[in-house]
Amino acid sequence: MLRPVTGLLLAAVLLLAACQSEPTTTTATPAATSATTPVHTAAYVCPMGCQGSESDKPGKCPVCEMDLVASQPAATPADK
């Protein structure tokens, strides 16, 4: 009767000791950052947000045939 209790007690102690240890972390360096990779944004987009409607020039959306509108530039942290 003493052996099963001792085994369970040993397992509990090992599990609790494992919870106290610090996890190992690795720091991965990103391959490309936004500062080094230029991001191309479309000058004109569909007001309905149709996928594939982005364009560099005015025209009609190929999905819903609405006129494309000038897109708003994305806010950068420097703008805030």
What pLDDT is stored for residue 10 in this prediction?
Answer: 80
Q: Rg of the chain over CA atoms, in angstroms?
A: 29
Task: Report yes or no on 66 lying in a domain.
Answer: yes
Task: Report yes or no on 29 lying in a domain.
Answer: no
The residue segments making up the domain with residue 65 are 42-72
The answer to whether the CB of 26 falls within 8 A of the CB of 18 is no
Task: Report yes or no on 11 lying in a domain.
Answer: no
Q: Coil, helix or strand for 69?
A: strand
Mean pLDDT of the chain: 74
Task: Report yes or no on 4 lying in a domain.
Answer: no
How many independent structural domains does the chain possess? Answer: 1
Task: List phi, psi (to 5°) of 46.
Answer: -75, 135
Task: List phi, psi (to 5°) of 15.
Answer: -65, -40
Q: Check residue 46 and give left, alpha or beta (phi > 0: left; psi -120 to 50: alpha).
A: beta
Q: How confident is the model at residue 12 (pLDDT cuts 50, 70, 90)?
A: confident
Q: What is the pTM of this model?
A: 0.41
